[in-house]
Amino acid sequence: MTPSPLSRTRPTDKEHDRREPTPAPTVLARVEGHAILTDTTIPLSPVESERERRLGEYLDHFQSVFQRTDQFERFGLYLRGLLEPGDRKNVEAIATAAGEQVRGKSDLTQALQHFISQSPWEAAKLMVAYRKILSKRPADPEAVWVVHDGVFPKKGRHSVGVQRQFARSVGRKLNCQMAVVVGQVGPSGYYPLASRLYLPAYWLQEHQEIAEKMIPEEYRKPTSKYEIALSLIDELRAEQPRVPGIIAEEGYATLPGFIDGLNDRRLGLLDGRAELVAEAHRLFDGLRLDLGLDHFEGRTWQGWHHHVSLVFAAYGFLAFDGV
């Protein structure tokens, strides 16, 4: 079974036994590239202090993504909230979890809500930084890229791209958002590399006014999932000239347009790897359970891509931390 960094999100019994508070320690929130003293001292065990140091170093890799120091600060707080244990990872829960580490922050929920839904930073740049960090891991020559759906079930119908549609990985129709995902899967694990929200043609037709206000012009025209997949592969190829083998779930692998698109790029589609596609789905679902991938309650295109990129970045820390 392919390993996953998510298996390290919960402390082992041995780590738990070592969590003896050190004498009068103080929590340091590493934001803006610096350690900031909070207004309350909170005991940290040696294990927790070391993890906080490693997390601070990891966050520093993303400073260039954010133009303002307040954006970078909220980025760090959001990731801390995602990494904390909890059944829900919506903005309120994330603010509560992050607030436990950074006392004295007023209106943290409102600040993080603005950061995730409205703040003008680019999820694409965050993903580039995330992939750059992943590239520093030991090479996995047996790994392949896998193209698959990402299903985000929804209760309401007001979020961007939501409609009742067939989810192949679930085997039935349901009310959901659908994303196209390109990940890497191999002996060293599964790592999501790129993702974009799919907008059904019917949804675009019925929500033209919302689309004009909310969605960048380049993404407003009806685009098939396989066309999105090819576009994501092109983005990855620009950063990584050597492309491993490519596999895809049935909804892509059987489409002539997808196969022709790969052939035009002198890329091949590997056959007989259904077990790896299933494994990618299983491990992708782990991001939903452990990091709140589908817990975002906002309704905007930008907010969705912000949240998903932040979840991938949190997952990247777990992968980076395990090296």
Answer whether 143's CB lies under 8 Å from 122's CB.
no
Taking the domain 123-298, which CATH number applies? 3.30.420
Q: What is the pLDDT of residue 46?
A: 66
Neighbouring-strand partners of residue 248: 147
**Angstrom distance (rounded) from CA 201 to CA 249:** 22
What pTM, to 2 d.p., does this model score?
A: 0.85
**Angstrom distance (rounded) from CA 94 to CA 86:** 9
Q: What is the pLDDT of residue 101?
A: 61
**Angstrom distance (rounded) from CA 307 to CA 28:** 25
Helix axis angle, 256-264 to 225-239, nearest 10°:
20
The helix or strand, by DSSP H or E, that contains position 59, with its residue range, turns out to be helix 46-60
Domain-wise residue ranges, the chain: 5-117, 123-298
Q: What angle do CA 166, 277, 224 make, to 5 degrees?
A: 45
Q: What does residue 178 show for φ and ψ, rounded to 5 degrees?
A: -125, 130
The helix or strand, by DSSP H or E, that contains position 180, with its residue range, turns out to be strand 172-186
Q: What is the pLDDT of residue 38?
A: 38
User: CA–CA distance from 177 to each of 45, 161, 196, 199, 317 (Å)?
Assistant: 41, 6, 11, 8, 26
Q: What does residue 23 show for φ and ψ, rounded to 5 degrees?
A: -60, 120
Answer whether 189's CB lies under 8 Å from 5's CB.
yes
Q: What is the pLDDT of residue 219?
A: 95
Q: What is the pLDDT of residue 273?
A: 86
- Residues with Cβ within 8 Å of residue 68, at least 6 apart in sequence: none
Answer whether 89's CB lies under 8 Å from 65's CB.
no
Q: pLDDT of the chain along its 323 residues, tens only?
A: 666 677 545 444 444 343 333 333 233 333 333 333 333 434 556 667 888 899 999 999 999 999 999 999 999 999 999 999 888 899 999 998 887 665 545 589 999 999 999 999 999 999 999 999 999 888 899 999 999 999 999 988 889 999 999 998 888 999 999 999 999 999 988 999 999 999 999 999 999 999 999 999 999 999 999 999 999 999 999 998 789 999 999 999 999 999 999 999 999 899 878 999 999 999 999 998 899 999 998 899 999 999 999 999 999 999 877 64
**Angstrom distance (rounded) from CA 180 to CA 227:** 10
Q: What is the pLDDT of residue 175?
A: 95
Structure tokens at 15: 């780590």
Q: What is the pLDDT of residue 241?
A: 79
Q: Which of 306, 290, 250 is nearest to 5 (CA)?
A: 290
